[in-house]
Structure 1
């Protein structure tokens, strides 16, 4: 039973390692418009499968210009990536 409890505890810590990015909070009226930001990313070669607001970040799931799967969090004002996971 102790081994099971340890595994559950380890799994809960492992899940927190992939927590969402911490983007700076900005007033909503300062954010890049979602449609404009999507167009900007598509112009850089991203194929966006899913676009969403996650807290104070824009988040995309899709593929980059090299066809690799990506999950990227962006600052809503500067548009700079805050956290990214790119398939090897």
Structure 2
């Protein structure tokens, strides 16, 4: 019985840990209203960012890369306005 209780606590702990890294909540738009991916990529590179990975995550554009100081970042953008919805500095 103790093993089951510890297992449940361990799973609950994992779920809570994953909630901290949950994706951003972005507004949904019809695809024809999305800003071009290249527009965002070019703007980020002009600001000194290096993009390692660019993807669509739910209703957000998401990039993984490095900022102009060389620090790892994960940033979520609104697909229509390209406004930053959530930004996370990652440990190297």
User: Structure 2 length normalisation: TM-score?
Assistant: 0.87
Query: Distance between the aligned counterparts of 2:7 and 2:33, measured in 1?
Result: 48
The counterpart of 1:17, out of the listed 2, 20, 26, is 20
User: Structure 1 length normalisation: TM-score?
Assistant: 0.91
Say which one has the larger Rg: 2
State the partner residue of 1:4. 7
For structure 2, the residue ranges without an aligned partner over 5 or more in a row are: none
Query: Distance between the aligned counterparts of 2:35 and 2:46, measured in 1?
Result: 15
- How many residues are aligned here? 88
CA deviation profile, 1:33-85 (whole Å, cap 9, x unmatched)? 11121111111111000000111100000001111100000001111110111
Query: Distance between the aligned counterparts of 1:31 and 1:42, measured in 2?
Result: 19
